[in-house]
Amino acid sequence: MYLPRNLISHLYLHLKQTHHPTSPPVLILVSLDPDALCACRILTALFKRDFIPHKIKPISGYGDLMRVGTELVRPMRTTDGGSGGVVVCLGVGGMVDLEAMLGLEVDEQGNGGMGDVEIWVVDARRPWNLSNVFGMQNLGSLTENGEPVAKVKGVEQGRISESYRPGRGAIVVFDDGDIEDELASERTAYCALAEMPELGEDDEEFDDGSDSGSDTAVEDDVPESGQSSRKRKSPSDPEDSDSEADEGTPHKKRRSNSSSSIPSTPERPARRGLLVTEGGPSSDTDIVHSGSPSEPGSPARREPSARKLRQRLLRLRRQYGAVLRAYYDLGASYSEPISSLIYSLACDLGRDDNDLLWLTIVGVSSLEISGRTSNGLGLSPLSTSGRSSGWTRDRGERIRAVLRDEVRRLNPTDLKDVSREANLGEASGVIQTHARSPTDMAIHLSPEPRFLLVRHWSLYDSMLHSPYLSAKLRVWSDAGRRRLHKLLAKMGISLTQCRQAYTHMDLDIKRSLRDRLLKFAPQYGLDGLVPPEVGQGTVGKEGWGFVRCWGWKACLSAMDVGIILGAILEVGDLDPKTAAAAANYRPGQPQSVIHSGISTPGSRTGPAPSTSSPGPQDELKAREEALMKRFWTAYDSLGSVDILTSHIITAQHLYRAILRTGTSLLEKRQIRPLRAFRMAVVKEGPDVELFTHPGALIKLALWIAEAIGETEGDKGRKGGELVMAGLDEERGIYVVVGLGGGAAVMAQKEREARRKERKAAREKKRVEKRAGREKRKQARREQLEALGEEWDEDDLSESEEESDSEDESDDEEEEREERGKALNRFGNAFQEVIAETGARVRVDNFEHCVVEVRKEDLGGFLENLSMKAVVG
């Protein structure tokens, strides 16, 4: 089921009314990324204000999620002796069947089910698992015949209304608006398939074979309909071919004699097809019958034969099944940040304040750093377009505009500060580096340049390590470094000045820095390096960033906090001596000069290990402990600016490593073009251990993809598809990530305009076609009545109905193709390669374009991957 955005507080208010301090705590499952961390902070703040007990459980992947389901969620069920409760999934499980993943299915004896456990799903990853969105999970209520309850009050085709009363247990997805606006055809197809009658194996003989071969093949992929409460088998499960199946993978083979009419995604666990809600077809005949009963006095109408009914049913099954499979095949993408959605909940409850707003701003800002865009994991469509950067085109800018309005509402400017801003030049764009008073805790708008940690680094280092600036100037080469020096010289800033800490630079340079950048940056193709001046094509300081101060303690931008949070999660604790050695490292020095010094998951630190080597379980436990330690450090840092500032050095170390490793790969020409993408492998160097974490490897891949795009320009291939692999020698695997290409904004807008024009033309043609058909039918009816013969409207219009159905299918297919343009399909391609080659691959990351491949299987895996379509 899904909760519409206009009812976002409906479930929370019920929880508040029914819970008290002695109630079972709400279990919050949180993925290990900054956006989910910020959302968790906002939600726990709401729980604390309403005295709702809760506990937090970090989730690192699907294996961890399954263990939590066994150890924590299933014991909550009333059918297992528990008292029910609420589980909140933040950034967890939106793309898989949570009922199966958490073990909440009904077994063959009819036991189990949800057991009054209600699961709230808030996730920005797409595509949704439609079983979570439109499915009605078995709530444990049975009819006299032992069948699941057919209808639930307040739920219409998976949509929750105000009359719905929580507490019986269900999976509820929080809609950010996309489900209502974009998934109408998928909703219709899912609900129709769920309510279709069962067909036996012999019913296929009623298919006259008039459909194309491709349709027949599609039908073969669609399992038979069945309203069974048991788990169905996924049509394609990578665990079949994984000879060394890791317990962390979500794709566990489940066999059952029952089947479903609702197709499952090839790359994800099979989903349940049980969905019978109010508002859907009331009977099987509603699906297969067309037309109306014959009126009194009219010629008797011949009822369609059983053969025709089965043929129509099969045709509808093929049509609806194709709609669902096409949705899952679109590719991965991202929608609204979950921190923004949880802040909307706080606003609806009237609990919004400055602290929650800041957490939301940090969560939204973190998406751009990690490469999460509306086209999936990859370069932002706006990152190289000469405009302000954004994670999801126009929608991201709209959300930022709302956040700027919230900043003005909750942080009004004092009248005495207006003249001060004008005198100091802050109104025209000076970067704020300090608080205005010892008690200043306000959020301010600031014209943030696209530099990296500029307040906490030197201007030179900040510019050098900025992914945007380094790609534009090609700083990995000597010519690029000279270009950077020349830009600084034209701006009138000496190397001595710019190598000082930014806060110690000459005050006149800092005040005029923005004006100098606006004047000279366009000469080097650096359009959009800083936001334009207010009043020149901008409304309300469009493109400006967000800064918050904590008195005299610190002054941090939202982007800085997002970078630091990511570094804590991806790098861990860093030895200051190691960081100093890393800062002084230059290519060409012996690798023994520097070691990572980081607390990597599974690495052995501290005293020398004993002669007995740790087993796989010990390594797994150490890895989990390291990840949990990172999570809680990052979680605490959101409430303590001292912890945040102490990890600035960690973020600097990470981006130094990205520059070093990226420069080495480019200089040695180790980025090889393949048929469908480019490929790079990190298997040696001082920082190889650092890039065993998927998040750090993604940042390196983003840096290289942007550098390649700037190097090749119009002569290079249009997409930015890149596969990056990092060697984890201790575990004997490669961590592999796949980046999709970022489409140009103008090209996307042009496609949307053309799509609207084609849709209007098709609708006009369809209306004309229907009008002509009605005229022909009326003439035929009058002719038969004059002859005294019976007329069969079904026979007369069957071919025309099929033609309409084909036209509508073609229109929907074209619409889906347009919607899936440039989306990241590496997750689908990975699953296809696993099924075909039997490579030993572990899929345990919530990003389905991140996998772990055995060291010896990497070559064959990439070879087969190069033949797949990796962008929609």
* Structure confidence by residue, pLDDT tens digits, 512-529: 888 899 889 888 888 878
Residue partners of 130: CB distance under 8 A and separation at least 6: 186, 190, 262, 271, 324, 327
- Return phi, psi of residue 232, to 5°: -95, 160
DSSP reduced 3-state for 373: strand
Asked if pLDDT for residue 771 goes beyond 70, the answer is yes
Structure tokens at 493: 């800033």
Choice between 858 and 807, residue whose per-residue pLDDT is larger: 858
Structure tokens at 407: 């900043």
Give the pLDDT score at 710.
83
Sheet holding 678-682, edge to edge: 672-673, 678-682, 722-728, 733-739, 850-854, 841-842
DSSP for 660-711?
HHHHHHHHTT--EE-SSSEEEEE-SSTTTTGGGSHHHHHHHHHHHHHHHHHH
Express each pLDDT in 528-576 by its tens digit: 788 876 554 445 577 788 999 999 999 999 999 999 999 999 998 876 6
Least confident of 250-259, 708-717, 735-744, 757-766: 250-259
Domain residue spans of the chain: 2-333, 351-558, 745-815
Asked if pLDDT for residue 781 goes beyond 50, the answer is yes
> Taking phi first (over 0 means left), then psi (-120 to 50 degrees means alpha), and beta for anything else, what does residue 801 get?
alpha
Sheet holding 443-446, edge to edge: 443-446, 545-549, 555-557
Give the pLDDT score at 135.
87
Confidence of residue 789 (pLDDT cuts 50, 70, 90): low
The three-point CA angle 276-120-188 to 5° equals 35
C-alpha 566/C-alpha 582 separation (Å) is 19
Give the pLDDT score at 113.
83
Give the pLDDT score at 838.
83
Residue partners of 866: CB distance under 8 A and separation at least 6: 674, 675, 676, 677, 679
Structure tokens at 179: 């489900």
Give the pLDDT score at 459.
93
28 neighbors 42 (Cβ within 8 angstroms): no
Least confident of 23-37, 229-243, 579-593: 229-243
Give the pLDDT score at 527.
80
C-alpha 396/C-alpha 335 separation (Å) is 9
With pLDDT > 90 as the criterion, what percentage of the chain qualifies?
41
Confidence of residue 167 (pLDDT cuts 50, 70, 90): confident
pTM beyond 0.85:
no
Closest CA to 324 of 159, 37, 473, 127: 127
Query: What's the mean pLDDT when you consider all of the chain?
Result: 77
Hey, which residues does 672 pair with through a beta bridge? 679
CA 244 to chain centroid, in Å, comes to 28
Choice between 261 and 432, residue whose per-residue pLDDT is larger: 432
Closest CA to 336 of 87, 29, 564, 5: 5
pLDDT, mean of residues 616-640: 87
Least confident of 67-76, 335-344, 732-741: 732-741
pLDDT, mean of residues 860-870: 88
C-alpha 573/C-alpha 592 separation (Å) is 20
pLDDT, mean of residues 794-816: 54
Asked if pLDDT for residue 583 goes beyond 80, the answer is no
Asked if pLDDT for residue 221 goes beyond 80, the answer is no
Confidence of residue 686 (pLDDT cuts 50, 70, 90): confident
Express each pLDDT in 398-450 by its tens digit: 898 899 999 999 998 776 666 666 555 444 567 888 888 888 899 998 888 88
Give the pLDDT score at 231.
39
Express each pLDDT in 265-303 by its tens digit: 444 433 333 333 333 433 343 433 444 444 455 555 567
Sole residue written with tokens 């599609």? 218
Choice between 318 and 766, residue whose per-residue pLDDT is larger: 318
Choice between 861 and 740, residue whose per-residue pLDDT is larger: 861
Asked if pLDDT for residue 336 goes beyond 50, the answer is yes
Residue 410 is inside which H or E element, if any?
Answer: helix 393-410
Q: What is the number of alpha carbons within 13 Å of residue 89 lying toward its C-beta?
A: 33
C-alpha 495/C-alpha 489 separation (Å) is 8
Express each pLDDT in 15-52 by its tens digit: 999 988 888 999 999 999 999 999 999 999 999 999 99
Distances (CA, A) of 752 to 53, 358, 759, 811, 819: 47, 34, 11, 14, 9
659 neighbors 849 (Cβ within 8 angstroms): no
Asked if pLDDT for residue 499 goes beyond 80, the answer is yes
Q: What is the number of alpha carbons within 13 Å of residue 11 lying toward its C-beta?
A: 30
The three-point CA angle 753-755-760 to 5° equals 100
